[in-house]
Amino acid sequence: MTAAPTYKKKDFMSDQVVRWCPGCGDYSILSQVQTTFAGLGVLRENFAVISGIGCSSRFPYYMETYGFHTIHGRAPTFASGLKATRPDLSVWVISGDGDMLSIGGNHIIHALRRNFDINVLLFNNQIYGLTKGQYSPTSEVGKKTKSTPYGSIDEPFNPITLALGAGGTFIARSLDVHAKHLQSMLVASHDHKGTGLVEIYQNCNIFNDGAFDTFRGKAEREENALFLENGQPMIFGKTTKMGLVLDHTTMKVVEIGDEYGEEDCVVHDEGNFIQAQLLAQLKAPDFPVPLGIIYRCERPTYEQSFQDQVSEARAKLGNGVLAELVKGGDTWRVEG
Amino acid sequence: MSTPARIEPGPNASLDSVVIRFAGDSGDGMQLIGNQFTRTTALAGNDLATFPDFPAEIRAPAGTRAGVSGFQLQFANHDIFTPGDIADVLVAMNPAALVANLNRLKDGGLIIVNTDSFGKRDLKLANLEVSPLDDGTLDEYRVVQVGITKLTKETVEPLGLTTKEADRCKNFFALGMTYWLYSRNMEPTKQWVTGKFKGKFAEANIAALQAGWSFADTVEIFGGQPYMVPRADDFKEGEYRNIMGNAAMAVGLAAAANKADRLLFYGTYPITPASDILHALAPFKNYGVVTYQAEDEIAAVCASIGASWGGSIGVTGTSGPGVSLKAEAMGLANIIEVPLIVVNVQRGGPSTGLPTKTEQSDLMQALYGRNGDSPMPVLAPQTPADCFDVAVEAVRIAIKYMTPVMILSDGYIANGAEPWLLPDLDALPEMKPNFAKAEEGVEFQPYSRDEETLARPWAIPGTPGLEHRIGGLEKQHLTGHVSYDPANHQFMQELRQEKVRRIQADIPETEVFGDEGGVCVLGWGSTYGAIRTAVVGAREAGVKVGHVHLRWINPLPKDLGEVLKRFDKVLIPELNLGQLIKLIRAEYLIDAVPLAKVQGQPFQTNEIRDRIIEFSKEA
């Protein structure tokens, strides 16, 4: 392996004009990805950025890497075929809530269970942007949009629960504008051997402005977001220090003080599947919004398991010889 | 119908060719003994062609006509092209199989029937009031009645099998009888059974095979002496194997990728009748073959494109309904211009249609079934073994022209088998991809073109200095940047069209078999054998007729129009309602006439021959 040169963020900026709406959360995400890539120690030519269709999926055009803007909902499938044959590449899937959870719903669940060592960034703005403002599979019930003038009646997906159910091995959540946190999640996903899913709450200032306002800005997130740290108690809030305790089988918000101390709070354990399920259920305004690595476990990657089978076959049968392949089993000779 | 040909018994009577049809319930193992008879016959040096004909249900209600599974085989001492129109011999394991197949048996043909399955219940399941063994139905045939079930049970009794296991051996008893009848060697099957089954069950099947053979020999049910079908001596010198179409496709794909020194990535979703390609490729892990059973048809093709982008040979295999689902991704492969092979093993449509039956009705879908003008090279194999050559050819063209390619196989050749002269591997065409590399001081242009082929460079991720973006949005000529420029779009559309047209320079000129005037019978794909036999027959009947068979349908051979115009008239037999004919009429303004058949069954040679004779007389 050639050591990667020291890159700067600008080494990952392509010459294409970025054409998202001014004020879109995508700008920040792009910036954090470019900054992160520069520091991963991966050769630039070994990055492959693959997207589907939608606002977020224009992403590859703005990255000075190998990029592939594919078709609606299918980005994880292209990534799977690429990674299966090119395990040497660092593969990044860029997708939105409509692309990944609606038309591409089937592919994300299968990508997660197969556990290719790829990274999936889910830009969740809870709306369809590129088609100009219809509700999405993560829009809340009752949401009034162009296609739901009386309010949406669909129960939304919870992407974290979905990913847990699909057998995801790295499931994290972050915010478009929280540069430091997002970068740390991208690095952690990269370091994880397996499919890393990072749900990024992303504000669409045109069609769904303010969807995450209660915990997105610096002041708000200090109050209402729960920043998960493995091995640390679940504590949040700046003006009043709050914590989460277990009440039978559910979480309960308590004030840290006389009745409850930090030691009473649930300690985050990334490997605890049940706890991850509980965290996935926490929603504003009754609960803080959990950000960080919600669940992480180790499981063989698809490409590794496949390579193991190839090695076993080669050990047992040797390297295949074309003449033998063509012969198959029984043959007979016709003499001239 | 052809002339009745009564098989008369005689001492070691030598026959030129025989058509035998095994028919029984889906659970009776007819495909298994059909394949064993095929293998043994191939090893005996006969030319042969097979036609498995089975229901879509794995186990349709036992004993019913819906559950009848058939396997037809023609073997001969000379070159043959089809599994035969109708059988000389029918092996019928129950009443449903008997009555459902009588119309596929020659008048005066031989029936070997298992009388143990003609009880009241069996007849009722077959919707019969009276046993056809008793009501005169079979008067025109030579019937050999054998209590196959009982004889098998008695044979395997000492081995202490369960009743169910013992019953499952009866197909081998029937096979043993046919082996005796045609002087086949039992050893290959015995060895196969030993490798396939374990312990007592293997012993029992071998015992049943032997018992069937001995029974035929001792009881003289066939009149004393077996028949001979001498080996075919018009075979070219060399090493042969028997091969089915799907297997030949799998081997061809693997061989081509190997020749190109690339991984073969076969992304697929199980679908009848294409799944056997996956089954054939999956064990080839030590040959650089990656098989990937995706979550659906779309994922299968997209993963294959992803693999191709990374420098592998991406292939996806499916049948018509799957191609419908892959259409959008094929359009993407068209605009991003990477190699991709789509294998469509066609079946009866539309929709789910007739999954286990054959048809050629996806030609228009292959040519036009994508949004936008999206030209895609299309080629079709003509026989089971030809699938190998077609697979190699498709991979060669896909790499050389950086294009998706569609192969149109079908259920008939996918499951049919024939002897195959093993190819000279050194003679396979060169197809090493020429991956792009960065050049000092030159800005990389991912949509620059090879002057001759118009192919764009294959620049795979991991190549330093060639980082670039591709995608489904229209590309600017040379730079590959997204472009909405109207003139550029027209330019690119015409360029992609022209690129496919230029493949004409790479494909053989049209070959004419037979006469170069009079009637031209123009076909494509799996109808080759039936048309060739029919044309031979019509010429023997004095008709001036030639046969042109297309391997490439897009592009068509560049001399095709000129060749067709040498004929007075053109007849186009197809297993669809007339698809190639529309293309031929549109391309060459030739007033061709269709011969359309859509019954889920291949053409019988006499259907085509009779039509040629009739057509030749029409004004």
pLDDT tens digits along B525-576: 999 999 999 999 999 999 999 999 999 999 999 999 999 999 999 999 999 9
Residue B517 reports pLDDT greater than 90: yes
Q: Which CATH class is domain B513-617?
A: alpha beta
B469 and A71: CB-CB below 8 Å?
no
Mean pLDDT of B94-113: 95
Quick one: pLDDT at residue B7?
Answer: 44
B241 and A327: CB-CB below 8 Å?
yes
For residue B12, give Cα distances in angstroms to B8, B225, B228, B233.
Answer: 11, 6, 6, 19
Mean pLDDT of B583-595: 98
Q: Which residue of B has its CA nearest to A16?
A: B481
Tell how strand A196-201 and strand A225-227 pair up: unpaired
Q: How confident is the model at residue B234 (pLDDT cuts 50, 70, 90)?
A: confident
Task: Give the Cα separation of A74 and A90 in Å (integer).
Answer: 18
Q: Which of A106, A313, A330 sits opposite B43 (nearest CB)?
A: A330
CA B173 to chain centre: 29
In terms of pLDDT, which residue wins out, A133 or A3? A133
Q: How confident is the model at residue A2 (pLDDT cuts 50, 70, 90)?
A: low
CA distance A59 to chain B (A): 10
For residue B416, give Cα distances in angstroms to B246, B247, B341, B413.
Answer: 9, 10, 22, 5
Task: Give every CB contact of residue A1 below 8 A, 6+ residues apart in sequence.
Answer: none
Residue A26 included in any domain: yes
Task: Give every CB contact of residue A191 below 8 A, 6+ residues apart in sequence.
Answer: none
In chain B, ranges of CATH 3.40.920.10 domains? 17-219
Which CATH superfamily hosts domain B17-219?
A: Pyruvate-ferredoxin oxidoreductase, PFOR, domain III (3.40.920.10)
Q: pLDDT tens-digit profile of B31-84?
A: 999 999 999 999 999 999 999 988 888 778 889 999 999 999 999 999 999 999
**Cβ of A44 under 8 Å from any chain B Cβ?**
yes
Q: Which residue of B has its CA nearest to A321?
A: B287
Lateral strand order in the sheet of A332-334: A332-334, B238-244, B417-421
CA distance B172 to chain A (A): 20
Q: What is the DSSP letter of B412?
A: H
Q: pLDDT tens-digit profile of A225-268?
A: 999 999 999 999 999 999 999 999 999 999 999 999 999 999 99
- Do residues B263 and B289 touch, judged by C-beta distance below 8 A? yes
- The range of the structural domain enclosing residue A33 comes to 9-211
Q: pLDDT tens-digit profile of B356-385?
A: 999 999 999 999 999 999 999 999 999 999
Task: Give the Cα separation of B443 and B464 in Å (integer).
Answer: 13
- The interface residues of chain A toward chain B in range 105-144, judged by CB-CB distance below 8 A, are 106-107, 109-110
Mean pLDDT of A309-326: 92
Among the listed residues B536, B5, B10, B14, the one whose alpha carbon sits nearest the alpha carbon of residue B231: B14
CA distance A301 to chain B (A): 14
Please give the full DSSP string across B82-133, using - where no structure is assigned: SS-SSEEEEEESSHHHHHHHGGGEEEEEEEEEEGGG-SHHHHHHTT-SS-TT
Q: pLDDT tens-digit profile of B491-506?
A: 999 999 999 999 999 9
Tell how strand B47-53 and strand B17-25 pair up: unpaired
Residue A186 reports pLDDT greater than 50: yes
Angle at B532 between CA B528 and CA B536, to 5 degrees: 175
Peptide bond into B350 cis (omega under 30): yes
Q: Which residue of A has its CA nearest to B39?
A: A330
Q: Which CATH number fits domain B238-506: 3.40.190.150, 1.10.510.10, 3.40.50.300, 3.40.50.970?
A: 3.40.50.970
Interface test with B, best of A14, A61, A70 (most B CBs within 10 A): A70
Counting every residue written for chain B, the total comes to 619
Among the listed residues A16, A4, A333, A321, the one whose alpha carbon sits nearest the alpha carbon of residue B240: A333
DSSP three-state, residue A245? strand
- Do residues A95 and A120 touch, judged by C-beta distance below 8 A? yes
- Do residues B338 and B308 touch, judged by C-beta distance below 8 A? yes
Mean pLDDT of A87-111: 98
Q: How confident is the model at residue B6 (pLDDT cuts 50, 70, 90)?
A: very low
DSSP three-state, residue B35? helix
In chain B, ranges of CATH 3.40.50.920 domains? 513-617
For residue A76, give Cα distances in angstroms to A92, A112, B327, B495.
Answer: 9, 9, 18, 30
Mean pLDDT of B263-291: 97
Task: Give the Cα separation of B157 and A96 in Å (integer).
Answer: 67
Q: How confident is the model at residue A153 (pLDDT cuts 50, 70, 90)?
A: very high
Q: What is the mean pLDDT of chain A?
A: 96
Mean pLDDT of B574-584: 98
Residue B21 reports pLDDT greater than 80: yes
ipTM of the predicted assembly exceeds 0.90: yes
CA distance B284 to chain A (A): 8
What total number of domains does chain A contain? 1
**Cβ of B404 under 8 Å from any chain A Cβ?**
no
Residue B272 reports pLDDT greater than 70: yes
First vs last C-alpha separation in chain A: 55
Tokens of B19: 């058509």
Residue B597 reports pLDDT greater than 70: yes
Residue A67 is inside which H or E element, if any? Answer: strand A66-69
Residue A91 included in any domain: yes
Residue A221 included in any domain: no
CA B501 to chain centre: 27
Quick one: pLDDT at residue B87?
Answer: 96
Residue B9 reports pLDDT greater than 50: no
Residue A300 included in any domain: no
Residue A298 reports pLDDT greater than 50: yes
Amino acid at residue number B64: T
Mean pLDDT of B327-355: 97
Tokens of A118: 């790829």
Interface test with A, best of B190, B309, B370, B421 (most A CBs within 10 A): B309
Residue A26 is inside which H or E element, if any? Answer: helix A26-38
Task: Give every CB contact of residue B148 below 8 A, 6+ residues apart in sequence.
Answer: B93, B114, B115, B116, B170, B173, B174, B212
Please report residues of B whose CB lies closer than 8 A to that of A80: 292, 294, 299, 303, 306
A332 and B306: CB-CB below 8 Å?
no
Residue A207 included in any domain: yes
A313 and B285: CB-CB below 8 Å?
yes
A330 and B241: CB-CB below 8 Å?
yes
Task: Give the Cα separation of B454 and B188 in Å (integer).
Answer: 52
In terms of pLDDT, which residue wins out, A334 or B419? B419
Please report residues of B whose CB lies closer than 8 A to that of A331: 239-241, 422
Residue A126 reports pLDDT greater than 50: yes
Quick one: pLDDT at residue B225?
Answer: 82
Task: Give the Cα separation of A45 and B475 in Å (integer).
Answer: 22
Q: How confident is the model at residue A1 (pLDDT cuts 50, 70, 90)?
A: low
B309 and A68: CB-CB below 8 Å?
yes
Residue B291 is inside which H or E element, if any? Answer: strand B289-293
Q: Which residue's entry shows tokens 């101390």? A: A261
Q: How confident is the model at residue B432 (pLDDT cuts 50, 70, 90)?
A: confident
Residue B247 is inside which H or E element, if any? Answer: helix B245-259
A85 and B243: CB-CB below 8 Å?
no
